[in-house]
Amino acid sequence: MDEKSKAILAGFTGKRKRSQLTPHRDLICKLHQRGCAFRAIVRVLSENFNLTVAPSTVCRFIARLKKERLKPRNEKPVPIATLISIKTAPVGSPNEIRQRIAALKQRTAKHEPDKLQFEYDPDQPLHLMREGGKK
């Protein structure tokens, strides 16, 4: 490898360039949460911080922030068997289950009959009933 190539490689760190919007992340997020349009955010950044960015840049910046928030942290995956055992309560023996089902079947439903709102007479037009059963 020649000297020029080595000099180029030595100057290249490989780090991702930091966005010029990063220092203003909190302000941008608050403005976006308040329903501020991307063009309005660009105008605020331009007037107050002399930043020249496109509305699409602000849109992508906010999308990247949302994606980072949703990204799972370096957590170990939880086995499904553990999740199932956490969500289900102990049920008991088969006899206890049968007894509970039988008790549920014997319970009567507490249901009041609906009040009639109309009366059907095939020879008369349909009329709504007022309170007290009057037409």
Q: pLDDT digit string (tens) for 14-73?
A: 666 678 888 888 999 889 988 889 999 999 999 998 989 999 999 999 998 888 876 666
List the one residue out of 19, 27, 29, 26 whose CA is nearest residue 53. 19
Radius of gyration of the CA atoms of the chain, in A: 34
Q: Where are the domains of the chain?
A: 18-70
pTM of the model: 0.44
- Which range has the top average pLDDT, 1-15, 53-67, 116-130? 53-67
- pLDDT tens profile 66-119: 888 766 666 666 666 655 555 555 667 888 888 888 998 888 877 776 666 666
Specify the pLDDT at position 53: 92
The residue type found at 43 is R
Query: Which residues make Cβ contacts (< 8 Å) with residue 59, sequence separation at least 6?
Result: 38
Specify the pLDDT at position 61: 92
Three state DSSP letters for the chain: CCHHHHHHHHHCCCCCCCCCCHHHHHHHHHHHHCCCCHHHHHHHHHHHHCCCCCHHHHHHHHHHHHHHHHCCCCCCCCCHHHHHHHHCCCCCCHHHHHHHHHHHHHCCCCCCCCCCCEECCCCCCCEECCCCCCC
Specify the pLDDT at position 5: 82
Specify the pLDDT at position 116: 60
Q: At what angle do helices 55-70 and 25-33 cross, to 10 degrees?
A: 90
CB 54 within 8 A of CB 19: no
